[in-house]
Amino acid sequence: MRTRLALLLGIGLLVAACSASASAPPQPSVSAPASAAPSVTATAAPTAEPQPTPTAAPTAEPPPTPAQAELILATTTSTQDSGLLDVLVPEFEKLTGYQVKTVAVGSGQALTMGKEGNADVLLVHSPAAEKEFMAGEYGVDRRLVMHNDFIIVGPATDPAGIKKTTTAADALKAIAAAEAPFVSRGDDSGTHKAELALWKKAAITPEGAWYQESGQGMGATLTIASEKGAYTLTDRATYLAQKDKLDLEILLEGDPALLNIYHVISVNPAKWPKVNAAGATAFADFLTSPDGQAMIGSFGVEKFGQPLFVPDAGKTDEELTGGS
């Protein structure tokens, strides 16, 4: 009996031990930390910002070609010989699309071209002849553009002593009295007409071996006068533009009678229907525009320290001449 009790007690203890083992929670497995290098997350290289594709600077659209593109300009040689047209005409062509054919002759010849319908627009400086032109209805829209002045130039020795005079009339009297050589353009130009008016004012009819006519433009006449040691009447602009090649000095200037006024005139399409009336108006508009007047007023300043022409758009002839 005692043996059987002991056996039962042993079996009970064994069961209890197994039950305790089954109910115990499992313990986490602990492993030694790894000695690997710290993990570094790789990042992509920064992407460059897209650069805008360079574009060419915008260029101004060329003006449309006018229906009648060729424009014939008849003008005095002084605007050509001074270099003024070399500045004005290319700018006008660039802005408008017109193609200017310049015929540089004396104002008288330019006006004749207009009377015959052989020019579209005139740029001249012979006020009395211009008024006759307008009275004959050969021209329309006559506009004041600019002025400069005439001067009497001659050799530095001044054999007639005109430096002592104060008026052009007195200077011409002294030249005639001394029979000092004088070269006239003799070409019915505005300068020639102005010279003849001054001789008339001096009450002298110039004639004799001392008085010669070149029959040429202002530049050529200045060259001849320089070669002959002679006096001549010239516009200031042409003289200044060529003086480095001349043995001539300014000997008389400043007389109000030496004022030199330029006008632009459109040829009348009622008389000559084939003239380029639209082009003539465009050219007159350009010359009298603020930009055109600024170009005229600055021409010559850089090279000569003074403008060769004074812009006058918007003024009247009477304002310039004092009503004379």
For residue 65, what pLDDT is reported?
Answer: 86
CA 161 to chain centre: 41
| Least confident segment among 77-81, 86-90, 200-204, 266-270 | 77-81
Task: Kindly indicate the confidence band of residue 60, based on its pLDDT and cuts at 50, 70 and 90.
Answer: low
Percent of the chain with pLDDT over 90: 75
Average pLDDT over residues 82-92: 96
For residue 53, what pLDDT is reported?
Answer: 54
| Least confident segment among 60-64, 142-146, 213-217 | 60-64
Q: Has residue 18 got a pLDDT over 80?
A: no
Q: Are strands 249-252 and 121-124 parallel, antiparallel or unpaired?
A: unpaired
For residue 321, what pLDDT is reported?
Answer: 85
CA 102 to chain centre: 17
Instruction: State the average pLDDT for the chain.
Output: 86
Locate 170 and state its tokens.
């007195």
For residue 67, what pLDDT is reported?
Answer: 87
Domains along the sequence of the chain with CATH: 70-148+261-321 (3.40.190.10), 149-258 (3.40.190.10)
* Residue 196 to residue 206: CA distance in whole angstroms: 9
- 47: Cβ–Cβ under 8 A, 6 or more apart, which residues? none
Task: Kindly indicate the confidence band of residue 300, based on its pLDDT and cuts at 50, 70 and 90.
Answer: very high
How far apart are the two ends of the chain, measured CA to CA in Å?
171
| Least confident segment among 7-11, 85-89, 201-205, 254-258 | 7-11
User: What is the per-residue pLDDT across 170-207, written as a single tens digit (0 to 9) for each?
Assistant: 999 999 999 999 999 999 999 999 999 999 999 999 99
Q: Are strands 121-124 and 70-76 parallel, antiparallel or unpaired?
A: parallel
For residue 279, what pLDDT is reported?
Answer: 98
For residue 202, what pLDDT is reported?
Answer: 97
pTM given for the model: 0.77
Task: Kindly indicate the confidence band of residue 62, based on its pLDDT and cuts at 50, 70 and 90.
Answer: confident
Average pLDDT over residues 89-103: 97
* Residue 228 to residue 221: CA distance in whole angstroms: 11
* Residue 136 to residue 130: CA distance in whole angstroms: 10
Say if residues 238 and 106 touch (Cβ distance below 8 Å).
Answer: no
